[in-house]
Amino acid sequence: MTGDDLSGVVMADARDRMEKAVAHTQAEFSGVRSGRATSALVEHLRVDVYGSEMELRQIAGLSVPEARLLVISPYDKSTLTAIEKAVQASDLGITPSNDGAVIRLSFPPLTEERRKELVKVVRHKAEEGRVAIRNLRRTARHELEGLEKDGDLSSDALERSERDLEKMTHDMVAAVDKLLAHKEQELLEI
């Protein structure tokens, strides 16, 4: 393999990992309640059924018939109480209502104070995403410098790769910032 091929492998790996960091940040954002009902808030909730823990999405259908209402329809009615317990034990802060067939979660409108707290939480998660991306940049840079030390990469190719790495990092951080702006807008709209 030539030096350019090796640097290409390092860059492709860095891009893949950075994209995963952005996707993880987006997944973290979807778990933050914005006053609207969304299945992302509960689908990964662990429920103790059939002698093991399973994700809620594996044992029940989730639907959002109205903006502030989430309906959980268990595939097996015997899991209803276990699902209800899991929802109560979660950090959602919502009391489920059970009518014997489905569980309804009614999301009250968020207070202004709570919205501001959630914006802080989301900003913290965004910063964690940015830090992860920068750490990946540092790791890729060390790998590229190692290739140069081993004589597999010329100093010109190293500079070019580092410029490309810097641009890629900037683009990924911008993607996190865009996700953050969207989530903040969603949280602050009434």
34 phi and psi angles, rounded to 5 deg: -115, 15
Q: What is the DSSP letter of 152?
A: S
Q: Considering the chain, what percentage of its residues have pLDDT values greater than 90? A: 31
Phi-psi category of residue 37: left, alpha or beta, with phi > 0 → left and psi -120 to 50 → alpha: beta
pLDDT interval class at 168 (50, 70, 90): very high
The residue ranking higher by pLDDT, 4 or 166, is: 166
Q: Which of 51-65, 89-103, 153-167 has the lowest mean pLDDT?
A: 89-103
Enumerate domains of the chain plus CATH numbers. Answer: 3-31+111-188 (1.10.132.20), 39-106 (3.30.1360.40)
Instruction: Indicate yes or no: pTM above 0.75.
Output: no
- Rounded CA separation 65/83 (Å): 19
Three-state SS for 12?
A: helix
Tens of pLDDT along 64-82? Answer: 888 888 898 998 888 888 8
Burial class (CB in 10 A: 0-12, 13-18, 19+), 40: middle
Token pair, residue 18, equals: 């950075």
